[in-house]
Amino acid sequence: MTTFNIVKAINAGLRRAMDGDPKVLIMGEDVGKLGGVFRVTDGLQKDFGEDRVIDTPLAESGIIGTAVGLALRGYRPVCEIQFDGFVFPGYDQIVSQVAKMHYRSAGRLRLPIVIRIPYGGGIGAVEHHSESPEGYFVHTPGLKVVTCADPVDAYWMIQQAIESDDPVMFFEPKRRYYEKAEVDTDGSPTLPLHAARVVREGTDATVAAYGPMVKTCLEAATAAADEGRSLEVIDLRTLAPLDLGPVIESVRRTGRLVVVHEAQRTLGVGAEVAARVTEECFYELEAPVMRVTGYDTPYPASRVEDDYLPDLDRVLDGVDRTLAH
């Protein structure tokens, strides 16, 4: 067992993938000599060379476009978008080329590209550095979208994403980057890439979250237990495709569901989860599905981001509302 934070876990996962396949490349702004703004790629250019860990110009569209060409030639590029809000200059390439090439070619061409995006708030950053843009990509057919919540998943999921023949948007919760856990690097992943998991069992209500909100929901479950309420917490992990099997199974037992995410409320991932669970569990639900989310506003200035982000109290308020029915 090795103790990693999420940064070190992704670094180790990238290193293992590069060791195992010479076609795996890393590219992005400052990923080489600097090791990335969060040091996720620290030391990789030194060990694998400038031909495999490539410092690119500040041009996200060029990064993604180049990755498309490399993937068509048999490489497996891993692109780093330095911050979540910087992905939009490359958005056209992602939704017009990366997502559609396999379908457009009737299955003859594949683009095994991983696009890593540190996302979410809670770090006191300036504008364009605290976005939650996952909904844009979940809405785009042809893309797989996943997000890790802890070092164990970070280590294994980045390798699984690189091994995938489909393009994968890999969202990393930057506010959780430096939280630690033990990782069995000699073992194997316990779940496939596109699977949700129960992280805490409970009986009174189900709470589903992903990425940075998983820890918040676990803290809420601990606080709820002190009040005699038992919450089951589920880490969705995969947003496209959604794996709602564990959620549906849980809701059929608890009769209640609260969905939590940082992104805006309207047409967010939580809305899709709520709709599909309602379709599947209509007769088992004891109360409407509740959503605890960010607000339908641009991300605010850092001095007031704590008022924007869902926190323990807002999650517990959602639980109180569903249990009141």
Just give the CATH number of 197-323. 3.40.50.920
Question: ∠ CA 97-99-103 to the nearest 5 degrees?
Answer: 95
The catalytic position among 102, 128, 129, 261 is: 129
Residue from 238, 252, 242 nearest 276 by CA = 242
Confidence label for 89 from pLDDT (cuts 50, 70 and 90): very high
Let me know if 129 is a catalytic residue: yes
CA dist 11 and 3 (Å) reads 13
Query: DSSP labels for 32-65?
Result: SSS--TTSTTTTHHHHH-TTTEEEPPS-HHHHHH
Where, residue-wise, is CATH 3.40.50.920 in the chain?
197-323
Is 90 exceeded by the pLDDT of residue 293?
yes
The SS3 of residue 147 is strand
Start-to-end Cα distance in the chain? 45
pTM for the predicted model, two decimal places: 0.97
- The CATH architecture that domain 2-183 belongs to is 3-Layer(aba) Sandwich (3.40)
Question: Between helices 213-226 and 312-323, what is the axis angle to 10°?
Answer: 60
Longest dimension (CA), the chain: 60
Is 90 exceeded by the pLDDT of residue 325?
no
Which residue blocks in the chain are alpha helix, DSSP H? Answer: 6-20, 44-48, 60-72, 91-93, 101-104, 134-138, 151-163, 213-226, 245-254, 269-281, 305-308, 312-323
pLDDT of residue 193: 98
pLDDT of residue 187: 86
Confidence label for 9 from pLDDT (cuts 50, 70 and 90): very high
**pLDDT tens for each residue of 23-73:** 999 999 999 999 999 999 999 999 999 999 999 999 999 999 999 999 999
CA dist 146 and 89 (Å) reads 21
DSSP one-letter code for 289: P
Residue from 28, 25, 74, 75 nearest 49 by CA = 25
pLDDT of residue 165: 97
State both tokens at 135: 């909904």
Measured in whole angstroms, how far is the alpha carbon of residue 282 from the centre of its chain?
28
High-pLDDT (> 70) share of the chain, %: 100
pLDDT of residue 207: 98
Where, residue-wise, is CATH 3.40.50.970 in the chain?
2-183
**pLDDT tens for each residue of 93-127:** 999 999 999 999 999 999 999 999 999 999 999 99
Is 90 exceeded by the pLDDT of residue 151?
yes
Residue from 86, 83, 78 nearest 54 by CA = 78
Cβ atoms 317, 227 nearer than 8 A: no
Is 90 exceeded by the pLDDT of residue 306?
yes
Question: ∠ CA 143-148-150 to the nearest 5 degrees?
Answer: 175
The percent helix, strand, coil of the chain (3-state, each to 5) is 40, 20, 40
**pLDDT tens for each residue of 213-232:** 999 999 999 999 999 999 99
CA dist 261 and 293 (Å) reads 5
Task: Indicate the average pLDDT of the chain.
Answer: 97
**pLDDT tens for each residue of 241-266:** 999 999 999 999 999 999 999 999 99
